[in-house]
Structure 1
């Protein structure tokens, strides 16, 4: 017998209830990037075991910190 059996109509699939994590990120920002930028991000994800969102968040944090150091955002 296979582990993955088809689910028949009428059967309900039980899902584990997830408790809402208060620290969960809820804001979504969409951006367009070039094919080359996408390939570079995918390379980084494979070599760092991090997802694209984590990489982009880190890049944004670094960019903001640099602007603060240069006193561009008062």
Structure 2
């Protein structure tokens, strides 16, 4: 028994994604140890946040502390 596919002669509609004006587009890559990765995974599970959100918050806290100590302008 053979299976016949029916082909439509109508052109396929191309789905386009809506652009989110507030979407973050910059990508930063970093290397971490296995221990740091395990810790990061525990934090993401316990906070229901993704890795990007956790790292972004950590960076914000680090920069705020440096500003408080007047290490950065």
Query: Post-superposition shift, 1:59?
Result: 0.1
Cα pair distance change 1:15/1:61, threshold 3 Å: farther
Summarize deviations over 1:26-50 as a string: whole Å, max 9, x none.
0000000000000000001111100
- SS class of match (1:58): helix
Q: Distance in 2 between matches of 1:46 and 1:17?
A: 33
- Measured after TM superposition, the shift of residue 25 of structure 1 is 0.3
Name the TM-score, length of structure 2 as normaliser: 0.77
Please say which structure displays the higher CA radius of gyration. 2
CA deviation after TM superposition for structure 1 residue 18, in Å: 2.2
Following TM superposition, the consecutive aligned residue runs of length 4 or more in structure 1 with deviations greater than 4 angstroms are: none
Task: State the match for 1:38 in structure 2.
Answer: 37
Q: For residue 22 of structure 2, what is the aligned residue in structure 1?
A: 23
Q: TM-score, normalised by structure 1?
A: 0.77
Shift of 1:15: 7.8
Q: List gaps (5 residues or longer) in structure 1.
A: 1-7
SS at 1:40 equivalent: helix
Pairwise CA RMSD: 2.0
The answer for unaligned runs of 5 or more in structure 2 is 8-12
**What is the CA distance between 1:67 and its match in structure 2?**
0.5
